[in-house]
Structure 1
Amino acid sequence: MPESPEVQALVDDLGARLTGREISDVDVVEFRVEKTRGRPPSSLVGERVRGASRRGKHVDIGVGDTQHLVVSLGRHGWARYRVEGGDVPPTDDPAGVAPPTLIAFTLDDGEVLEFTDAGDWVSLGCWVVDDPTDVPAIAKLGPDPVDPGFSRADFDRAMVGRRKQVKAVLQEQESLAGIGNAYSDEILHVAKLSPVGHAAALTPDELDRLFDSTVGVVVHATDARRGVPIDGLKPAKIAAMRVHGRTGEACPVCGDTIRDFSFASTTAQYCPTCQTHGELLPLKSQ
């Protein structure tokens, strides 16, 4: 799932590449991506892009005088560029299968911006709105740890006293915007905390460590992704992970074996020695 560091790098690229250019055509390949049916993406034809920004894990492309094209990348969505009529660019998928295009925006010079989705179900979504907060998920977003104004008070309001697993709170977009499965694993490993412990049980010292690691991990990753081409962001993210996606490998801190555990509808990773005092968490059921 794209998370704030990679989405920020994507919108930086989109802003630099698209600003001032006109949308000359829109091709909706999968109708389910349209979330504002009375105001389809095709209504943007003839308008110029005025910039791009990030809202949590959403892409916000300013178009025309007041309109916003908001794109939720969902679990497996991403973007790529292609020359009109040209071949699909090479993919980083080990199987060599490029994800399908669900919606494409042709620009005035013939370049095409495509939004893709590699999942088994459509998670990509597009809205055309005058105010990004007209998108329900954006209206409910909590404070963003990458924001320079993010404070300890913001963090404490999201975390302190919550009778919910710490990992779940980190990924709850209404509490903290932009963090998903991968970076929550990384944050908890740096903080040396169990992902299944409840937020309400955290000691003052543990809260201090968790605040520092939450800000430190996502800010460092955001800085590290700046300038990486959009087709290289996924490999860069994978290469930078300490525990996430590293099942069976040695922990870079203590050398213990990194393990899987079941979390919601997916699998996450942790180090037993660093995070759970040697306790093995339940594996994902088969």
Structure 2
Amino acid sequence: MPELPEVSALAGFVAEHAGGQQIVGVTVASLNVLTTYDPPATALVGRVLAAGDRYGKFLDLVTVPDGDPDGPALHLVVHLARAGWLRWSDKISATPPKMGGPIALRVRFSGGGGFDITEAGTKKSVAAAVVTDPLQVPGVARLGPDAMGGDGRGLALDTLTAALAGRTGRLKNVLTDQTVLAGIGNAYSDEILHTAELSPFATAGKLNETALASLHEAIVSVLSAAIARTVGAGAARLKGEKRTGLRVHARTGLPCPVCGGTVAEVSFADRSFQYCPTCQTGGKLLADRRLSRLIK
């Protein structure tokens, strides 16, 4: 799943490659992808890409009228969900993609390039909206404070403290709740908790000052490092860049790069997370529902 660093990089990549260019074609190739109808997707045609931005894990491509950079903006807001991606081509085909295939949406620019929004698998969750204000997208309107702060320099400690106050859920779940903090998903929450040496099953609202400070430092450092790795990376390389920086996520059974212990996993019906028992839980294994057991 693309998270804050990858979506930030995608926004910058599209702005760099298509900024100032006119949109000459928009094709919706999936019945489920477009969540708005007024204005229609065709309203983007003839407009110019002015900027790329993000809200949490939502990609925001900002367009303005051709010849009027100060004119009313129209936003293409995309959520790539778990299996979606943006694939850029310097010479994208003008032939519309087939309905029902892996391509959900295609956008072509006057320079000849463009991108496809794709989604692997049969579960279709990628969503796109054409709006005059990103807050018209319900998912954006519900977002909590951004995990990198409003200025992109990092979340403030007092903002994190307020966001977690009174939360009775497990820390892993709370960190990935976009209404609490925007931008952190399954992979980077694993990395953040490992860096902070905190258990995924810790109660979010019961962290002491030391734990909160460690968590805050880990959020800023892990996300900042991930963003730095993506600078200048092409859209096709971003998934690989993400994997190179992971220390525990998706590394079940491999040695922890910090202590040498074995990375463990907790699995649920459709997802899993990884952690280091030695670094994070005092050597104890956490409950794994696959095995129908509870180890405290």
The aligned runs of 1:11-90 (5 Å cut-off) are: 11-64=11-64, 65=71, 66-82=73-89, 83-85=91-93
What count of residue pairs does the alignment treat as equivalent? 275
**TM value normalised by structure 1:** 0.91
What SS is found at the alignment partner of 2:262?
coil
The aligned runs of 1:126-165 (5 Å cut-off) are: 126-146=128-148, 147-148=152-153, 150-165=155-170
What SS is found at the alignment partner of 1:32?
coil
Asked if structure 2 preserves the Cα contact closer than 8 Å seen for 1:267 and 1:284, the reply is no
Amino acid corresponding to residue 39 of structure 2 in structure 1? R
Determine the structure 1 residue equivalent to 2:199.
194
Asked if structure 2 preserves the Cα contact closer than 8 Å seen for 1:18 and 1:51, the reply is no
Amino acid corresponding to residue 188 of structure 1 in structure 2? L
Runs of 4+ in 1 over 6 A off after TM superposition: none
Q: RMSD over aligned Cα, in angstroms?
A: 1.8
What SS is found at the alignment partner of 2:86?
strand
CA distance in 2, matches of 1:277, 1:26: 53
Shift of 1:272: 0.7
Asked if structure 2 preserves the Cα contact closer than 8 Å seen for 1:188 and 1:195, the reply is yes
Is the alpha carbon distance of 1:67 and 1:86 closer, same or farther for their aligned partners in structure 2, counting shifts above 3 Å?
Answer: closer
CA distance in 2, matches of 1:149, 1:200: 21
1:195-226 deviations in whole A, cap 9, x for unaligned? 01111232221111111111111112112211
1:81-109 deviations in whole A, cap 9, x for unaligned? 2323399xxxxxxxxxxx82111011113
1:9-36 deviations in whole A, cap 9, x for unaligned? 1111111111111111111110211110
CA distance in 2, matches of 1:184, 1:238: 14
Shift of 1:140: 1.6
Amino acid corresponding to residue 26 of structure 1 in structure 2? V
Shift of 1:284: 4.8
Asked if structure 1 preserves the Cα contact closer than 8 Å seen for 2:92 and 2:115, the reply is no
Q: Structure 1: which 5+ runs fail to align?
A: 88-98
Asked if structure 1 preserves the Cα contact closer than 8 Å seen for 2:75 and 2:134, the reply is yes
Asked if structure 1 preserves the Cα contact closer than 8 Å seen for 2:88 and 2:235, the reply is no
Q: Structure 2: which 5+ runs fail to align?
A: 65-70, 96-100, 292-296
Shift of 1:264: 7.2
What SS is found at the alignment partner of 1:33?
coil
Shift of 1:169: 1.2
- Identity percentage of aligned residues: 40
What SS is found at the alignment partner of 2:189?
helix
CA distance in 1, matches of 2:256, 2:51: 41
Shift of 1:123: 1.4
CA distance in 2, matches of 1:150, 1:239: 24
